[in-house]
Amino acid sequence: MKNLMLVLLCSFYCAVSWGNDNPMAPQTGSSACDTPIYSTNHYIADHALLMLPAGERHWLDQRHKHYLLGTTSPEDPQLSTTCALPANNHASQHEKHSVEWAWDYSDFKVVNGEKKDRTAVLAQQAYDNAVTAYRADKLDDAAFFLGAMAHYIGDVSYANIHSDTVWTDARSPALSPFEQYVSPDRLVKRQPYSAVKRVSKNSQEIYRTFGSAQDKAAPPAIGKSVNLGANELADVLHTFYVSVVKH
Ligand SMILES: [Zn+2]
């Protein structure tokens, strides 16, 4: 299954440069609209897509470019204008794509009455926008918003622990040190807010354990975290299919 996924991923992207999420520089010009820059977030978004049965992901495969542009969009406030995509109210500053956990991991931290769950909220908003767009027969827009939702789950899949040292090795899926950890589990129904919560809790625990991606023990832990992110995202995409597309 892993090799099959690798082949499918290569059929999409082996000719496309492989980059890091940090930094994800704003793109200008029409090439940005035709060839989304591939980053760690896109890697997770694509793996999640490939975890779905072919029939469930068919409508997204047909709008794959919109899905990937959606994954780029939260980091690139110009993208919607440049590529004539739906306006989005996503935060453009990377520091806002984060959550904070209480030290006992009981829930997100609350500071002065404000719950530090911003990424979970943004993911849920993007998903809700996708629901609205799909029901209005705007399927390209729905794919775009699901891609944006995928961005936020991708962000917390390696929160605070991705580093240039680790991720610049991932120039292609074949070379990614994390490919070996990507393995589909059973699809279940999951809302984006809950997925961000589950994934970020796991990655925060890793961060507190290892502190840095430079640690020898960290890459397997990060690989497992990236795998959890892809699987939780696949669950959300599955939920969208079951609750919206199939209806
Ligand atoms: Zn981000």
Q: What is the pLDDT of residues 41-65, one digit of tens each?
A: 888 899 999 999 999 999 999 999 9
Whether residue 213 is predicted with pLDDT greater than 70 in this model: the reply is no
Instruction: Kindly indicate the confidence band of residue 33, based on its pLDDT and cuts at 50, 70 and 90.
Output: confident
75 CA distance to ligand 1 middle (Å): 6
Ligand 1 centroid to Cα of residue 46, in Å, is 16
What does the pLDDT average to over 80-87? 84
The Å distance, Cα 5 to ligand 1 centre, comes to 25
> If you measure from the C-alpha of residue 97 to the centroid of ligand 1, how many angstroms do you get, rounded to a whole number?
5
Query: Would the pLDDT of 80 be above 60?
Result: yes
How many whole angstroms from 247 Cα to the centroid of ligand 1? 31
Identity of the highest mean pLDDT range in 91-100, 124-133, 215-224: 124-133
Q: 60 with 142: CB under 8 angstroms?
A: no
Contact 197, 157 (CB under 8 A): no
Under CATH, what is the fold of the domain 42-245? P1 Nuclease (1.10.575)
Q: How far is the CA of 150 from the centre of ligand 1 (A)?
A: 10
Helices and strands, counts by H and E, the chain: 11, 2
